[in-house]
Structures are given as C-alpha cells and as structure tokens.
Structure 1
C-alpha cells in the first residue's frame, strides 16, 4: 500500500503523461474517478472522461457520474450504447461481460484507460476484453490497491470517495437468463426503492417469480418498510416470493 496520497498521485500522473490523448472509461465509481482526475492533471483537455450510457447503467449511477465529473471539473462526455441490441450480450452466457466490455471499448475508441486496480482479479472475462483491446490500467500498473484508491480519493475530496462498490444491472441476472429491458427496469425499480429508503448499497436479483434482495446489516431495521413498498409496486407484481436478510415473504 502506498503510504502517501501525494506520492500515489504523482506516480499515476507520470504513468499517464506519455500518452498524447486518452479517453477514460468513467463510470463515476471511485476507481475511474481517481484515474479520470489524474488523467486530466497529466493531459488537461487531451483527456476525456467517457461515460457509456446503456440499459445496464442505472439512472442513479449515471447521475452520480455526472455530479462527480462536475465536482472534479472533468472534461466529461456521455455516449449511448445499446447493449441489448447485440444478441451475444443479450443471451447472457458466462462470457457476457467479455462481449459487453469488448463492445464498450470499441464504442469509446482511441486510447482507452480504465480504473482496474491491483486488487481486481485478472481472470475475469471483462479483463480479457480489456487486454485484447489494448486498454491501459494505470492503477494496476503502479500496484495501487483498492485501499490506495480510496485514500487518494478522500485526499482529493472526490465525490465518489466513500461510494460503495457497484456493478452494472446485468450482473443481477442469472447466467443463461436472457437480458431484457423489462427485467432491467424491474431490477432498477427495486433497488431505487431500497436506496430511497436509506440503503447504502443493495442488489435485487430476480430468479423467475422469486426476487432475492441483498443489503447491509445497517439497513435491516428499515428494510420491512422498503420491502412493503416493493410488494405494493404494480411494476413488480410478478414477483411472488421476496427473499431477503429479513426473511421470506410470499404473496
């Protein structure tokens, strides 16, 4: 772990500086926020933080990315990506993330930098796609851990410094279950209800007529009211069983 955030930032800037211009794959999470900040420090307007807006990105996360970019004065661009139009992604095989990342990096184009850090497993399908696309991972290259990244984000006062780790909405859907706009809409609706009721983080995982909810222990006392709102939402009426850390509810 790097002992000083200023040292870490200097190493990160030095790693990025040799490139003439870059596009940072910017989700608004803490890793990509730190990289986007460092890239702009290194290259100024020759660095663009690119948020790929697809059906897999929740509106809450898109908003957070925009707020974080504005707070850090990033050169920020949003581009559309229609993931579910590609059957190889929509069919949701075990390699779905590989094909999705491959499509995203192609959509961004140019010299792409991502926020992968030294703690991220290198055997994930998404990392294979990144390697094949020649994506640069400066945090990984300088050996920066997740703790290093959070330390630097706090030092810089970034909006995302304390943001819990998240993943795209597609990760909630079991492998082999086709990804549809309707299913993604329901997942986002459930998670929005939980977040609006005070959950710091949550996951809504549909499995046929059953809905599995995940959230932190701190939310357990408030969860019943949120689950009641889920049960009463007409969009979510097809879920007959809701299973959560608070127990199982059947309609």
Structure 2
C-alpha cells in the first residue's frame, strides 16, 4: 500500500485528537466508518457515534451501523428523526438536502451537547466537492467538522486505508439517502421511500452491488454498473425484476443505458 494514504490517516487521528471530544454522525457507510474508527483510536471514550434513524435511511444500513458500533465497543446514541415533517422537505425541492441536513445536524448537535461532546463531525471528503451538494452549506452554517476533508482524503484513499485496517466497509457500495432517488419536485412519502428501499434490496439480493433505483412517478429507472448489464438483460432476469417491481407498485421499469453514476438527478442544476 502507498505510504501517502496511511500518512493522511495519521494526520486524521492528530486532527481528531485536537478536537478533544467528538460525536460522529454515523451512517455505517465507507466514510463515516473510517472517521468513527479513527476517532475511537484517537480519543477512546471521548469519541461516540450518533446514528440517525429515519425513512431516508434503509433499515439494513441502520442495523449495520449499530452492529459496527457495538462490535468495536463504541458508545452510541440513536437519533430518531421525522424528516418528512420538516417544513419543505416533503415537496422535494432542489435544496432538499440543505433543509434535511440542517434539521438532522441540529438534532445531532443537541444530542452531542447532552452527551457532553465538544464537537460534531461528519464524513464528507474531497470527492464531495465534485457534485451538487447543498447539504454542505448546512454543515458549514452549523460549524460541523469535516475531518476527512480537512486532511484532504479522497474516496479511493478512504477505501485503501479501510482495507489496510480491516474495516468491513472498505469495498462497501455507496447507498446514500433514499430521497436522492426521486426527481426534484416529486412529493416524498413514506410509502414511496419504502418502495425504493425494497426495490434496491431486491436487486442487492440478486447479487448486484453498486446500483440505484431512481423514480419518476410510477416509472423506475434502474442504474447498474456497466459490467452488470449483460446479466441483467437475460430474459429470465428481466422478467423476474419486472414482476417484482410491478408487485411493488411500479407501472414501468427501465434500465438506464448510461449506468450507475452519483448525482444523476442533479443534471441541469
């Protein structure tokens, strides 16, 4: 392994140590897992996880986050959030991520104060500057720390370090917030979010790893990695997916010819 990523990891631990005590907004994804692990190494019991639970988070992601914290003896608190009740979010405007992050991190900050933690940190990295991310504005406004960004870590390096450390998330596909599957302006409902979650879980169970099920009303647009498209196009597989998606309430099921990519709903913004 290259020396540079591990040097950045040492820089990360030094950075965290300087914060004295840290509550990590923990999703169980690649970035926040490395951040939480580093915080535990740097600060011991002065590091903790705050795990958000809402209709925007797949149940499997929440369970994996709790499991990781318990396995590594990291104290954690669960923050239950009724995100759809936050003014404006249900309408899914272009700044939905800002509204959501502002509400969630306000709750996390309050929880951190209760737990006597001086700082809240989250897992944004250098690659997060490449897409439309209005949530970054909320993070800045609330003075939430972004240590991975501060030590200039990129996603590829985060995965390399995670592999070196033996973290189970080193090759974990990105899931992201379920609300990101909906075209802006399409009303967000608990039923619609659960439909997307179940559709993606079905495809994951079939063996596909990096994917999205984007929705445009009653149309599902499936994004897969290019290497997975040939197997998907076999008649038996297509029929099974169509029937499952129909059962979930989709009238139309399509495969996006461009394949999986981050932020495909942000085209034109």
TM-score by length of 1: 0.89
CA RMSD of aligned residues (A): 2.1
SS of structure 2 residue aligned to 1:199: coil
Uncovered stretches (5+) of structure 1, i.e. residues with no partner: 247-251
Compared CA separation, residues 228 and 70, structure 1 to 2 (3 A): farther
**Residue in 1 that maps onto 2:116:** none
**Residue in 2 that maps onto 1:116:** 124
SS of structure 1 residue aligned to 2:127: coil
Asked if residue 152 in structure 1 is aligned to residue 161 in structure 2, the reply is: yes
Which of the residues 180, 185, 192 maps onto 2:189? 180
1:57-96 → structure 2 map (5 Å cutoff): 57-96=57-96
Asked if residue 204 in structure 1 is aligned to residue 221 in structure 2, the reply is: no
Answer with 134-143 or 229-238: which moved more.
229-238
1:2-81 → structure 2 map (5 Å cutoff): 3-81=3-81
SS of structure 2 residue aligned to 1:161: coil
Contact 1:71-1:158 within 8 A present in 2 as well: no
Compared CA separation, residues 217 and 228, structure 1 to 2 (3 A): same
Compared CA separation, residues 4 and 52, structure 1 to 2 (3 A): same
Uncovered stretches (5+) of structure 2, i.e. residues with no partner: 113-118, 258-269
**Residue in 2 that maps onto 1:241:** 252
Contact 2:25-2:50 within 8 A present in 1 as well: yes
Distance in 2 between the 1:183 and 1:230 partners?
Answer: 18
Contact 1:117-1:137 within 8 A present in 2 as well: yes
- Per-residue CA deviations over 1:58-79 (Å, capped at 9, x if unaligned) read 1122223233334444333322
Once the two structures are TM-superposed, the CA of residue 179 in structure 1 deviates from its matched residue by 0.4
Contact 2:221-2:256 within 8 A present in 1 as well: no
Compared CA separation, residues 160 and 70, structure 1 to 2 (3 A): farther
Distance in 1 between the 2:35 and 2:54 partners?
Answer: 21
TM-score by length of 2: 0.84
Contact 2:12-2:151 within 8 A present in 1 as well: yes
Distance in 2 between the 1:40 and 1:238 partners?
Answer: 43
